[in-house]
Amino acid sequence: MKERLQTLKQEALDQVNSASDQRALQDVKVYYLGKKGQITDVLKGMGKLSKEERPVVGQLANEVRDEITEAIETKQQTLEKQAIEKQLQEEAVDVTLPGKPSQIGGSHLLMSVIRDIEDLFTSMGYQVAEGPEVETDYYNFEALNLPKGHPARDMQDSFYITEELLMRTHTSPVQARTMNKHEGKGPVKIICPGKVYRRDTDDATHSHQFTQIEGLYVDENIRMSDLKGTLNVLAKHLFGEDREIRLRPSFFPFTEPSVEMDISCKVCGGDGCSVCKKTGWIEILGAGLVHPNVLEMAGFDSNKYSGFAFGMGPERIAMLKYGIEDIRHFYTNDVRFLKQFHRV
C-alpha cells in the first residue's frame, strides 16, 4: 500500500505539473482526491491492514493527500496568473494608434450670413425681431399699403392657406407687427431675419422658400441720408471697404420714395463683366422711406415720425460673396458643399 501511495503521489504530481489549463487541473484533482478518487480508494482499503500498519499508512496517505492538494493549489494560482496575463495581452489597447476623427458640425452658410448681419446691426443699436411664417393677409399685405385687389400684389406670388392666411412672402409684416406693439412711440429699430415663401418654380436663382432680412428704423427726423449712410456701412461690411453703392429709384407699395441699392462689381471693379452683366453694378436689396400710410396704420403719427426700411436676401449675398452659382445648394444640404463654409 505504501508503494501504491508513493506511485500515486508521483503520478499525481506529474499530472498536476503538466496540466495546461484549469479544466485539466480540476480533472486531476477529481481523479486523485475526489470521493471516488485514487487516494480515497486507498483510505477506504485501510480496514484490511493490521493494527500496526494502519497509523503508518494513514499518516502517509494524509501526507500524500496534503502534498497533492498543495501542488494543485500552487498550480491553480500559476494557471490563474497565466490566464490573466493572456487576457491582458489579448485585450491590450494600443494607445499610440491614431484615433478615429469625429465629424464636427458647423453653422450653415445662410445662418452665418444672417448672424453676421444681425451682429452688425445690433452693434448699431438694433434689436432682432421675429414674426410668424404663416401670416395673415392683413400683415403680409394690407398693413403694408397693399389693399386687397392692389395690382402690386402680383409682385409676390403667394401660397394661400385660406382667403385670409398665407405663407408670408417677405419679412416686411414683422415691421407692421413690431410697430403695432410700440403703440405709436418711437424709436423702433429692428432687424428681422426669417424664412419667406413664394410660388416660384425652383431653378438656379429661384426657390419657393428662401430667407430675408428686413431692417426698420422709425424715429423723429429719419431721412433718406440716414438710409443711405446705413446701407453704405452694410455694403462695406459685407463686401469690402472699396465697394461703392448707388441707389436707383424703384417701387414698393410700403415705401415712398423707394430705391434699389447696387454695389460696384467686385469682379471687374466697375468696368463691366459677366457677373454684373456688363453694367459694373450688382443689385443687392430694396429699400425706401416708410410710406406714411404704413406708419399711420401701425399707429404712428406720420407728421411726427418717419423711418426707413430695407429688405435683402441672405442667399443672394452669400452667392455673390462666395461665388455660389445655384441657390439650391443652400437647401439640398450636401455636406461637401456645407463643409466648405463651416469656418465662415
The site for ligand PHE (CB under 6 A) is made up of: 170, 172, 214, 252, 255, 286-288, 309-311
Q: What one-character-per-residue DSSP string does 242-285 give?
A: T--EEEEEEEETTEEEEEEEEEE-TTTTTS--TTTTTSSEEEEE
Task: Tell me the closest approach of the beta carbon of residue 252 to ligand PHE, in angstroms.
Answer: 4
Q: C-alpha cell of 161?
A: 392657406
Distances (CA, A) of 176 to 34, 147, 202, 259: 96, 14, 29, 20
Q: Which is nearer to ligand PHE, 38 or 158 (CB)?
A: 158
Query: What burial class does residue 302 get, using C-beta atoms within 10 Å of its C-beta: 0-12 exposed, 13-18 middle, 19+ buried?
Result: middle
Task: Tell me how far CA of residue 255 lies from CA of 137, 249, 290, in angstroms.
Answer: 18, 11, 4
* Residue placing its CB nearer to ligand PHE in the complex, 197 or 310: 310
Would you say 223 and 182 are in contact if contact means Cβ atoms under 8 Å apart? no
If DSSP codes are grouped into helix, strand and coil, which group holds residue 64? helix
Q: Which amino acid is at 80?
A: E
Residue nearest to ligand PHE (CB): 311
Residue 126 or residue 252: which is nearer to ligand PHE going by CB?
252
Please say which residue, 193 or 311, places its beta carbon nearer to ligand PHE. 311
Q: Of 64 and 190, which has the nearer Cβ to ligand PHE?
A: 190
Q: What's the min distance (Å) between Cβ of 155 and ligand PHE? A: 7
Name the minimum Å distance from CB 157 to ligand PHE: 12
* Closer CB to ligand PHE, 172 or 264, in the complex: 172
Residue closer to ligand PHE, measured from CB, 25 or 234: 234
**In whole angstroms, how close is the CB of 278 to ligand PHE at the nearest point?**
25
Task: State in angstroms the smallest separation of the CB of 104 from ligand PHE.
Answer: 35
Q: Cβ of residue 276: shortest distance to ligand PHE, in angstroms?
A: 21
Smallest CA-to-CA distance from 183 within 101, 301, 10 is with 301
Q: How far is the CB of 196 from ligand PHE (least distance, A)?
A: 7
Amino acid identity of residue 117, one-letter, is I
Cβ 180 vs Cβ 299: under 8 Å: yes
